[in-house]
C-alpha cells in the first residue's frame, strides 16, 4: 500500500473510532437517563431533501419522509465524522498521526459543534445554536458534550491505531 493510501485509511479509521465513541455516548445517555439525541432518521431526511435542492425546513420532523432516510442518516453521520478527522493531519501535520496529542483532538472535536449550530440546526428549523428549540441551553450543552466526546474519541482512536500499526515519523 502506498503512503498516501495508508494516511487516508488511518485518518478514516480515526474518524470512525471517534464517531463510534459519540454513538456509545448517545446510546448510554438514552438507556441510562432517557436523554435523546439527534435522530439520525431526521438527518437522513434532511440529506435526502438536499438532492431536491431543499436546504431549509420549518421543521425537519414535519417534512416529507424520504426513502431510506435512516440508512442515509447513519451514512451521513459516519461520513461527516470521517471527514472532520481529516482536519487533524491537515492542521497539525502528519506528525500528529505518529504522536497523537489530546489538545489538537479536543480542539477539533469541540470546533465541530459549529457545524450543527451554524448549518444543520438552522436548516432543520430549530434556529442558530438551537435557538428555537424548547430548551436551547440543554441542547447546546448536549451538543458541546457529544462533540467533546468526539474529540476524546479522535485522540483515543489515533493512540490505539498508532500502537497497533505504528506509522513511522
Q: How far is CA 2 from CA 5, 9, 127, 165, in A?
A: 6, 11, 45, 15
62: pLDDT strictly greater than 80: yes
- Tens digits of per-residue pLDDT, 119-150? 999 999 999 999 999 999 999 999 999 999 99
pLDDT attached to residue 169: 63
Q: Taking residues 55-66, what's their average pLDDT?
A: 95
For residue 109, what pLDDT is reported? 98
% the chain with pLDDT above 70: 99
For residue 31, give Cα distances in angstroms to 22, 69, 71.
Answer: 14, 23, 22
Is the pLDDT confidence value at 42 over 90? Answer: yes
Rounded to the nearest integer, the mean pLDDT of the chain is 95
Amino acid at each position: 500500500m502506498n503512503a498516501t493510501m495508508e494516511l487516508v485509511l488511518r485518518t478514516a479509521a480515526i474518524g470512525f473510532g471517534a464517531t463510534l465513541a459519540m454513538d456509545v455516548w448517545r446510546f448510554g445517555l438514552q438507556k441510562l437517563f432517557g436523554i435523546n439525541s439527534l435522530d439520525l432518521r431526521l438527518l437522513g431526511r434532511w440529506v435526502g431533501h438536499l438532492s431536491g435542492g431543499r436546504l431549509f425546513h420549518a421543521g425537519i420532523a414535519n417534512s416529507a419522509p424520504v426513502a431510506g432516510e435512516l440508512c442515509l442518516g447513519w451514512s451521513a453521520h459516519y461520513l461527516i465524522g470521517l471527514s472532520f478527522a481529516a482536519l487533524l493531519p491537515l492542521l497539525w501535520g502528519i506528525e500528529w498521526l505518529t504522536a497523537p496529542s489530546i489538545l489538537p483532538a479536543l480542539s477539533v472535536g469541540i470546533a465541530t459543534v459549529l457545524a450543527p449550530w451554524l448549518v444543520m440546526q438552522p436548516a432543520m428549523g430549530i434556529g442558530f445554536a438551537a435557538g428555537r428549540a424548547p430548551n436551547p441551553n440543554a441542547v447546546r450543552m448536549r451538543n458541546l458534550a457529544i462533540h467533546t466526546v468526539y474529540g476524546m474519541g479522535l485522540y483515543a482512536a489515533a493512540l490505539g491505531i498508532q500502537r497497533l500499526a505504528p506509522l513511522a515519523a
